Amino acid sequence: MAYLVQPDYVKYVCSCGQMKPITNLYFCRHCLKIRCGFCICHEVDSHYCANCLENMPSSEARLKKNRCSSCFDCPSCFHTLSTRATMVQPRQDPASGDAKVENKQPKKMYYLSCFNCRWTSRDVGIPDQPVASGGWPERVNPFANRFAQLMEYYKAIAQQEKQEKLDKERKKFAIRGNYITLTDKTGLTGAMARNRAGMPSSESTSSAIANFVTSQATEEVDELPDNYHTREVNLKMITTMPQRLASPEWQAQQVSRLQPIARPLSVKRSQRCRQCDHNLTKPEYNPGSIKFKIELLAFYHVPEVKIISYETIKPGVTSALLLKLTNPTAHEMQIQLIQPNEVPEIEEKEEPKNIEKSLEKSLNLEKDMSWKSVVERKPTLPSAIKVNNPELTFTLAQRDDAAEYDDDSHHDTNDIILWRKSNKLALRLQLTTDESAKAGLPAVAVIALQYTYRNTVPPTSTQPRDHTLYTTVTIDLGIVSQ
């Protein structure tokens, strides 16, 4: 039963030319093409803490530097810290008597502890807090003001460069009678347009650049202590490189100066097709849910190919290959095996460009489409092993979850079809290996599938629901034997 888990032996050729297992691919039902990780773009839907499952909007997460305010990680071993409670007797006031102290009840205090390495916040002198969450002191970086000035300065430079680029683009489309930008159509000034788009004004940008104070180098450097090279070094008291890089603002050198690290926030992301800009995956907003609103995985739309068994591959010898085809859709599917060179090339349609899109450029809302400049790679498919395709069209029934518990399989008298069971089909194929194939090289067979697909949600009502699609599959059969 080892053939049930083999995602790396059978790979599909994506529309961009990369070869990936079916579990790592997506299927766009608007473009009707297979997409890999390069053919999609990612968008952040929500931020949440993986420990306390607190959900927060993007603006709040940006203010908190993408950190949770109530959950912390251990600065020593990076495990999640737990809040532990302890009863503390109130301190005795010297001016008061002993009777008043006896009447006071013990107070509950909280501190952070790591169950993995036994590190506690008391080890570094952090006082216990009266509340379980939200009351831990925050350290202020002494260079915070300088960091803020640098951020404002570089933001102003980036905004100035964008504005210069937009001015050059406006001059290219200087045509009378047409509204090129939002300011030409509505009569708004440039400052009003920038305010509506949420961008800083030109005056604030120029003032931030003019008032910036550059750093000055100095020759005065503190001298090292006299015993710097002779004193004994205790490695247990010195922090490691991962511990220092975990808090880049402080980079404590001594273990006694380690502070709890605020836990980074996790994100729920949605993925879009780069060509048609439609969603391929979209998760639920609730951080505690693992379900998806949209989940267009290739595993649910493209026929799955698995290896049952195969004979040893030898040069100039015909061997047998047993494959299993599965129809994952809820509709009947017609499948035909063809050679890879018989797959027709379908060019992707590009949207016509018009002058109205310059409105998006004027507000910096145009999406980055630089990926289109990358030439689509055509993979070099091996040709030493040829699959003798039967001139037959196979019919696979729709997926039935209840049929998984049925042990009866229908055996056909055909020499090619071994058995049928629900939406599964086993085939016996013949492989012809070229005599020029060298022993010890990888034995990879390539086959193409022509299958029918019924689109349940077509882009428009005028387009047909049934389509004929193609996909190319590479099958890893080990190495060529002598």
Burial of 247 (0-12, 13-18, 19+ CB in 10 A): middle
* β-pairing verdict for 279-283 and 266-273: antiparallel
Rounded to an integer, the average pLDDT of 9-29 is 90
Question: pTM here?
Answer: 0.73
Check pLDDT > 60 for residue 413.
no
pLDDT at 3: 47
* β-pairing verdict for 279-283 and 292-295: antiparallel
pLDDT at 212: 85
pLDDT at 435: 85
Q: Which two tokens stand for residue 377?
A: 């790679």
Higher pLDDT, 283 or 171: 283
Q: Which two tokens stand for residue 387?
A: 């699959």
Which residue, among 408, 447, 409, has the nearest Cα to 425 in the 3D structure? Answer: 409
DSSP E strands in 221-343: the ranges are 261-264, 266-273, 279-283, 292-295, 304-310, 318-326, 333-338
pLDDT at 280: 92
Confidence of residue 354 (pLDDT cuts 50, 70, 90): very low
Q: How many CB atoms lie within 10 A of CB 459?
A: 13
Enumerate residues 6+ apart whose C-beta is below 8 A from 370: none
For the ranges 130-134, 276-280, 395-399, the lowest mean pLDDT is seen at 130-134
Higher pLDDT, 241 or 350: 241
Burial of 61 (0-12, 13-18, 19+ CB in 10 A): buried
| Under 8 Å between Cβ of 83 and 110 | yes
Residue by residue, DSSP assigns 412-453 as PS-SSEEEEETTEEEEEEEEEE-TTPPTTSEEEEEEEEEEEE
Which residue, among 67, 66, 41, has the nearest Cα to 271 in the 3D structure? Answer: 41
Per domain, the residue ranges of the chain are 10-22+303-480
Percent of the chain with pLDDT over 90: 26
Q: How many CB atoms lie within 10 A of CB 65?
A: 10
Higher pLDDT, 102 or 365: 102
Higher pLDDT, 199 or 150: 150
